[in-house]
Structure 1
Amino acid sequence: MRHFLASLLLAAALQPAQASQPADLFDFWVGDWVVSWTTADGGTAQARNRVTKILDGQVIEENFEGATAVTPRLLGRSLSVRDKSGTWRQAWADNQGGFFALTGGADGEARFFATEFRQVGDKRQGQRMRFYDIRPDSFTWDWEGSADGGKTWTLMWRLHYRRAAP
């Protein structure tokens, strides 16, 4: 996991955001979620992600609590807001020294938050999270990286979200 997070910190990639995005673009994400993924050894890991609206409903707060069985345990928080220009922005920080500033948007039915592209040697690198197959009680979240300015993307981590039982 440490190697994974270190690789995420090496570069940043931003998809141009459309001006004046809908205020409810990420409302599907609000809720209490059980998150699962396949580990490097082929097992399954789980986490809890509680996503709420705060500050008069204008800010989305994420509280990610990784499973205790995964070492090191990932704990993270994000704040997402639609700024005055109508652009979605997110700041993520975690207990492993990770920090990302991202810009959000939509690509058809999918939603994304992406970092700015950054030139590293001869590569133009960046990352994005992509939410897709969005249903009332589930969706898929991919963390992807690009080394060619966003022409192609490589899957780095896939999470399956399902609403937690009340």
Structure 2
Amino acid sequence: MSLHHRLTLPTVTLFVALLGPLAVARAQEAPAPCLDGGAYDQFDFWVGEWDVFTPDGVRAGSNRIEKVAAGCLLVEHWTSAAGGTGNSLNYYHPARQQWIQVWVDGQGGVIEVAGEFTDGAMRFVGEHVYPDGRREAFRMRFTPQVDGSVRQFIEQSKDEGATWYVWFDGRYERTGRPDTGEPRE
């Protein structure tokens, strides 16, 4: 007898009745671990809509940081004042107990860094890979300020860290557009 003949309406009804509660239970699982606080919330001070300024007050660009994937991922959307763009993915890696950032800009440059929140700032180290394949050591920190702004300070080294030069120094100021900080799916 074929499978088609054995699946009668009463059999299908019984099957749905038995498996239905399992589907509901799965849908009502505990919240994602990224919403439970701890290390996953360490970079939340960066979430929001920002105007970014250089130390002398010149507008460098705008940045939108959103929390997605049930709070497990921060996505950056950068647009410079000159129109250049870039995006980063930022996430806490539980096995490494580090934050990871992978940045890609509109020119094909890539920055890969790892770090942690320590001494009042999110600190990253890694490398900047240029479109031509050149690699340079890279370090940056994001420091939340008392007034709600954030300072991003980036240094780069052409000699594997023997000397460093300032690559970017910016002050993030909230645009005034509301951001709930709640994750977006």
What is the TM-score of this pair, normalised by structure 1? 0.69
Q: Which runs of 5+ in 2 are unaligned?
A: 1-37, 130-134, 178-185
2:76 paired with 1:66: no
| Distance of aligned partners of 1:63 and 1:109 in 2 relative to their CA distance in 1, 3 Å threshold | same
Q: 2:86 aligns with which of 76, 80, 83?
A: 76
Q: SS at the partner of 2:62?
A: strand
After the TM superposition, which of the residue ranges 143-152 and 91-100 deviates more from structure 2? 143-152
**Are the aligned partners of 2:111 and 2:128 in contact in 1 as well (CA < 8 Å)?**
no
- Cα distance in structure 1, aligned partners of 2:143 and 2:163: 17
* Residues paired across the two proteins, number: 134
Higher strand share: 1
Aligned residues with identical type, % of pairs: 33
2:149 paired with 1:135: no
| Distance of aligned partners of 1:76 and 1:117 in 2 relative to their CA distance in 1, 3 Å threshold | closer
Q: Which runs of 5+ in 1 are unaligned?
A: 1-20, 119-123
By how many angstroms is 1:55 displaced?
A: 0.6
What is the TM-score of this pair, normalised by structure 2? 0.63
Which stretches of structure 1, 4 residues or longer, exceed 6 Å deviation after superposition? none
Rg: which structure is higher?
2
Structure with higher RCO (Cα < 8 A, 6+ apart) = 1
2:44 paired with 1:33: no
Higher helix share: 2
Q: SS at the partner of 2:40?
A: coil
Q: 1:56 aligns with which of 47, 70, 86?
A: 70
RMSD: 2.7
**Are the aligned partners of 1:28 and 1:134 in contact in 2 as well (CA < 8 Å)?**
no
**Are the aligned partners of 2:109 and 2:128 in contact in 1 as well (CA < 8 Å)?**
no
- Cα distance in structure 2, aligned partners of 1:31 and 1:65: 14
